[in-house]
Amino acid sequence: MMWNFIFPFVFISVFFLALGNFSDPTAEFSKDPVKLAIVASDQQEADNLAEFLDNFGEEGIAEQTKSEETSSDDVFIKYQLTDAENAEQMLADQAVQAVVKAGNPVEILAYNDLSKVKSSLLDQFLESYESIRKTTTMIGDRYADEKFSDLASFAGSQLSEQEFNAIIEQTKMDILAKHEETVDLFSDESESTELSTSPLLIYFFACIAYIAFYPLNTGVTTLTEITANQSGVGLRNSATPISKTKMFFAVFIPRWIIHCIFTLVIYLYVNLLGVNLGDNYLQIIVLLMLGTTSAVLTGTAIGALFNFNTGLKMGISIALPLVFGFASGMMYNGMPRIIAQYIPWFNKMNPIGIISKGLYMLYSDPTFVRFNQQIFNLLIIIGIMFILTIFGLRRNSYESI
């Protein structure tokens, strides 16, 4: 029981120290930027991607920083435009860490020696580029519909050169405005939570979600104290005239309250470490409390439904959060996408994934629409586990009769 309160602090502290420069994510990349080889069958596509990446880095793999005077905190990426054969050779020689195909859409063909953090950052850059591409197409189509729908008039030169230049200039301004909004991944000046989320923060979301769901074993031990064949305490309690349902609530509620308070303490501890999870404090607390509730009730459901020995149940209660955490990207950042592609139902009903996504939605989405969906999913899990627990308790009562 005591380990339930010691482990979260140890885990959060080690996780925080392992991330190192969490509060300054630019430090790692200014010294060792992500190195890319860009290939494309269409040169224009490659040029467009290179122009976008210039906002975050520079062209040239061979050039290395020789002194502090030439170093820059804005260099996250170094890239080289090349062909497919040369890109493969550069990857084999470890001159680059990834090969990116500049097409529609952009895709990572191969990678080598790319850390989880850098992989997440690269994904964000490429997603931002795709967003810019879509915005450019949308703005272009809009102006085409407004000004160029009458081709006969256009051919007759009814659109003056001044008007045409004005349209092109406005288009560039719109694209630039959207570009600035999208690429500002590490803004130090903005106080809005609408910023794109740092890859390091995404790892912390999964970590906190894991801690919120960790007290699953508390639910298992709750059932051992009211089940005759699980422990001596359970045998004595079963001999009392009190119904199992009432006894369950008498044991469950104090433990649930303690763990909810402890989850709040963990949240405060994370803030003391300097990790900013956003300003929606009430919503974050509610999300974490529901996550802890779902964990304890999942444990009680396991304890009530299965009659195998307590040691095996405890093993399951430890392994299950690890499985959910792995599926949520706590160990490998690409796992949520794989799970969503091949096991979509598991992705939707993974409680740690739901908590992690809820934290992400609060941090990056100014509306609460998608966050509310995560709350609804957690409530469904809580309801299902509560029903299974009561069903298991009543079944055991009938068997004892």
Question: Each residue of 339-357: pLDDT tens digit?
Answer: 888 888 888 889 999 999 8
| pLDDT class of 23 with cuts at 50, 70, 90 | very low
Amino acid letter for position 199 = P
pLDDT value of residue 171: 52
| Residue 159, pLDDT above cutoff 60 | no
Q: Cβ(135)–Cβ(175) under 8 Å?
A: yes
CA distance 98 to 38: 9
Sheet holding 77-81, edge to edge: 57-59, 77-81, 34-39, 98-101, 107-111
As to burial, measured by CB atoms within 10 angstroms (0-12 exposed, 13-18 middle, 19+ buried), residue 377 is: buried
38: β partners: 81, 100
pLDDT value of residue 289: 95
DSSP reduced 3-state for 346? helix
Q: Cβ(291)–Cβ(385) under 8 Å?
A: no
Average pLDDT, the chain: 75
Q: Which residue has the tokens 């795709």?
A: 130
Tell which residue, 359, 274, 260, has the closest CA to residue 4: 260
- 76 vs 239, which has greater pLDDT? 76
Structure tokens at 176: 């630039």
Q: Cβ(59)–Cβ(81) under 8 Å?
A: yes
Query: In 288-310, which positions are buried (b, 16+ CB within 10 angstroms) versus exposed (e)?
Result: bbbbbbbbbbbbbbbbbeeeeeb
Structure tokens at 361: 């939605």
Q: Cβ(124)–Cβ(196) under 8 Å?
A: yes
- The one-character DSSP state at 68 is T
CA distance 256 to 308: 24
CA distances from residue 5 to 211, 217, 342 in whole angstroms, order as listed: 10, 12, 35
pLDDT value of residue 287: 95
Angle between helices 199-213 and 310-327 (to 10 degrees): 160
| pLDDT class of 111 with cuts at 50, 70, 90 | confident
Alpha helices in 273-368 (DSSP H): 281-305, 310-327, 335-342, 344-349, 351-364
Average pLDDT over residues 17-38: 64
Alpha carbon 289 to chain centroid, angstroms: 19
Among 54-58, 157-161, 249-253, which range has the highest average pLDDT? 249-253
CA distance 349 to 378: 8
pLDDT value of residue 331: 76
pLDDT value of residue 381: 95
For strand 107-111 and strand 98-101, is the pairing parallel, antiparallel, or unpaired? Answer: antiparallel
pTM (2 decimals)? 0.58
Task: Give the length of the chain.
Answer: 401
| pLDDT class of 333 with cuts at 50, 70, 90 | low
| Residue 384, pLDDT above cutoff 80 | yes
Tell which residue, 220, 208, 34, has the closest CA to residue 114: 34
pLDDT value of residue 140: 61
Q: What are phi and psi of 257, to 5 degrees?
A: -65, -45
